[in-house]
Amino acid sequence: MWASRPWPVGSYTGIKIFRQGLHSQLGSYEFAIANSGYVDIRTITPLPSEHPKARTYAIIRAQHETASGRLKKMAQKVLFRSSQLDLSAN
């Protein structure tokens, strides 16, 4: 799992964010596992179902999606609660 700074909604695609961030952090023999929307030389995308490692990669992607979903829900709660704080009180 890799997290980055907040990006303006609609201004950057996922692959553009990947190329500006995580891409440069990968070692020479490291790759990112991604869905088919992230086609890049440094990503591994879904394999055909008959491939021997297809199930393993599917499990890894499912775990990533679960963790990502939980982080997004947590961030929404934090942002919602912080937007209700009265920051003008000293």
- Domain positions in the chain are 1-45, 47-84
Q: Taking residues 32-36, report their average pLDDT.
A: 74
Number of Cβ atoms within 10 Å of the Cβ of 65:
11
Evaluate whether 45 touches 38 at the Cβ level (below 8 Å).
yes
Supply the pTM of this predicted model: 0.46
Number of Cβ atoms within 10 Å of the Cβ of 62:
10
**Given a cut of 80, is residue 60 above it in pLDDT?**
yes
Nearest Cα to 3, choosing from 82, 75, 83? 75
**Per-residue pLDDT band at 63 (split at 50, 70, 90):** confident
**Given a cut of 60, is residue 83 above it in pLDDT?**
no
Strand intervals (E) in the chain: 32-33, 43-44
